[in-house]
Each structure stands twice: as structure tokens, then as C-alpha cells.
């Protein structure tokens, strides 16, 4: 069950409304990396989760994101309110102005409706947590960019609060992932094919007109990758079914 307390988690105060900035803020209200996406991703993962401790973390953070949704929505609405009556302001976001009467809705900065296609919910803890870490990283950089596009101090303060919490959640998801006790490349139960898993295919070669060249990264070899150069032209160098003669024999036999 949910309960709502009217007090906003962060008190939003702005100076002069800036409708074009308000429109930009919608990225974090109804956009791909925004607060509804975060709230729904974690809450739905939590609903599906069989591990009570992980479920609790997911519900804690999913619920906090709902509180953030209110903050960013309130902030965006303050900046967009002039679109209700000013023709010039309305041009900053015609959808908000004409269809919404100056009120926000779950659309992004270019009027695309929020969609559950933004969500990553796999039903597998070590996968979901990686999706969540990435989601928090994206949300963090978006808040940083928004802060860079406004001079309004009250707006900056609210965005700084929201940005900070993304790092908090990123840290929590990283710890929850560590706590699962799985190896860094251990996803699910089936092992990858030995040999093949360590081949790096160099599929992009040459040099472009702006100086970017084919650079085999030093770390690749240092970390045990075996390079296969231009496999489209040297297909036999790929160990498709692994290196062991036994496996190759098995494969030939199976067909």
C-alpha cells in the first residue's frame, strides 16, 4: 500500500519562470531516463522479486523515485505555467500549452509520450541491478546537463538534490549487486563457450577522414582477449563452438 504526504521531499522555489527550460525539465518527468521510469523500473522489479532483502531495497528506492517525480513535476510546472496564457511562452511547448492548459503531462522535452519501452525488467537480480546502475548513471548526467542550462538558483538547488540521490541509488545498487555474491561475468546459469568467449573480433578497420584509426586497446590483450582480425574475411579463425576437438566432433556428429 502507498501513502502520500503532501509535503514535497524538497521545497521547490523558482525566480522568473523560463518556459523553454521547463520544457527541458520534462526529460526527467516523462522522459526516458526520468523519475517515472526509475520509479516503475524498480517497483516492478520489486514486485517480481523473490529475495525479501533485495525486494525491500527495490521498493525503498522505487518509492523514493515517486517522491522525486513530484518534485521535478512541480518544478517543470512552475516554469511552464506561462504557456497557458502567453502565445510566446506557448511556442516553447505547444503540447503543454494547448492540450494541457499549461500543466505538465508524462511527455518528454519533444512531446513523446512516456512508454514502458523505457523500462528494463528482466526478472533476474544480477541483470536488473546492472540495468539499475546504468539507469542511475544516465539520470545523473541528465541532471548535470540541466543544471548547466539554468541560472536560477532555486532550480539549481532542487536539481542538485535530485542529482545527488541518483549517486546514492547507484551506490546502493552496486552494493546490492556485490552482495549477490556472483562473479563479475556470471549471468544466469548457463556457461559461455570456452575459447570463443575470449576472442575479440576486430570488425572495424582502417582510418577515417578525421583521424580515428583501428586501435586495438592495450587492455584487451592484457586482460586475456585473443584478437581475430576481420573475421568476415577470416571466418576460420573464429572458434565458433569452442577450441576443444571433442566439442567440434560432437557438433559434427549432432548434425
Q: Which of residues 59-78 bind its own copies (CB under 8 A)?
A: 59-64, 66-67, 70, 73-74, 77
Cβ-Cβ contacts under 8 Å for 54 (sequence gap 6 or more): 125, 176, 180
Pairing mode of beta strands 226-229, 199-202: parallel
Q: Which has the closest alpha carbon to 173: 77, 18, 65?
A: 65
Nearer to its own copies, 16 or 208 (CB): 208
Q: What are phi and psi of 67, to 5 degrees?
A: -65, -35
- 236 touches its own copies by CB under 8 A: no
- CB 75 within 8 Å of CB 17: no
Given 17, 38, 82, 111, the residue binding its own copies (CB under 8 A): 111
C-alpha grid cell for residue 5? 504526504
Nearer to its own copies, 17 or 112 (CB): 112
Q: How far is the CB of 244 from its own copies (least distance, A)?
A: 14
How far apart are alpha carbons 77 and 83 in whole angstroms? 10
- 237 touches its own copies by CB under 8 A: no
How far apart are alpha carbons 195 and 246 in whole angstroms? 13
- CB 23 within 8 Å of CB 93: yes
- 184 touches its own copies by CB under 8 A: yes
- 255 touches its own copies by CB under 8 A: yes
The C-alpha angle with vertex 29 and arms to 27 and 33, in degrees rounded to 5, equals 55
Q: How far is the CB of 255 from its own copies (least distance, A)?
A: 6
- 127 touches its own copies by CB under 8 A: yes
**Which residues 195-224 are close enough to bind its own copies by CB under 8 A?**
196-209, 211-217, 219-220, 223
- 183 touches its own copies by CB under 8 A: no
**Which residues 10-49 are close enough to bind its own copies by CB under 8 A?**
10-13, 20, 23-24, 27, 30-33, 36, 40, 44-45, 47-48
Q: How far is the CB of 78 from its own copies (least distance, A)?
A: 10
Given 16, 181, 185, 246, the residue binding its own copies (CB under 8 A): 185
Q: How far is the CB of 25 from its own copies (least distance, A)?
A: 9
- 229 touches its own copies by CB under 8 A: no
Q: How far is the CB of 9 from its own copies (least distance, A)?
A: 5
Given 17, 119, 237, 248, the residue binding its own copies (CB under 8 A): 119
3-state secondary structure of 6: coil
How far apart are alpha carbons 125 and 177 in whole angstroms? 8
How far apart are alpha carbons 78 and 58 in whole angstroms? 30
Amino acid at each position: 500500500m502507498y501513502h502520500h504526504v503532501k509535503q514535497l521531499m524538497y521545497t521547490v522555489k523558482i525566480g522568473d519562470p523560463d518556459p523553454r527550460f521547463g520544457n527541458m525539465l520534462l526529460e526527467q518527468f516523462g522522459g526516458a531516463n526520468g523519475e517515472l521510469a526509475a520509479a516503475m523500473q524498480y517497483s516492478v522489479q520489486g514486485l517480481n522479486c523473490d529475495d525479501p532483502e533485495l525486494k525491500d531495497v527495490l521498493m525503498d528506492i522505487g518509492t523514493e523515485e515517486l517522491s522525486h517525480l513530484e518534485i521535478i513535476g512541480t518544478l517543470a510546472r512552475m516554469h511552464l505555467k506561462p504557456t497557458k496564457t502567453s502565445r510566446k511562452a506557448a511556442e516553447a511547448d505547444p503540447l503543454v500549452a494547448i492540450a494541457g492548459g499549461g500543466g505538465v503531462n508524462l511527455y518528454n522535452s519533444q512531446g513523446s509520450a512516456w512508454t514502458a519501452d523505457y523500462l528494463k525488467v528482466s526478472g533476474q537480480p544480477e541483470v536488473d541491478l546492472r540495468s539499475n546502475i546504468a539507469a542511475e548513471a544516465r539520470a545523473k548526467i541528465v541532471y548535470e546537463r540541466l543544471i548547466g542550462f539554468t541560472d536560477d538558483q532555486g532550480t539549481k538547488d532542487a536539481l542538485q538534490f535530485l542529482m545527488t540521490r541518483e549517486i546514492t541509488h547507484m551506490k546502493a545498487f552496486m552494493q546490492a549487486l556485490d552482495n549477490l555474491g556472483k562473479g563479475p561475468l556470471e549471468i544466469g546459469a548457463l556457461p559461455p563457450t570456452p575459447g570463443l568467449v575470449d576472442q575479440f573480433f576486430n570488425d572495424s578497420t582502417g582510418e577515417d577522414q578525421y583521424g580515428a584509426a583501428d586501435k586495438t586497446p592495450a587492455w584487451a590483450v592484457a586482460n586475456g582477449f585473443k584478437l581475430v582480425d576481420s573475421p568476415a574475411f577470416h571466418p576460420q579463425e573464429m572458434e565458433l563452438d569452442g577450441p576443444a576437438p571433442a566439442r567440434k566432433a560432437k557438433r559434427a556428429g549432432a548434425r
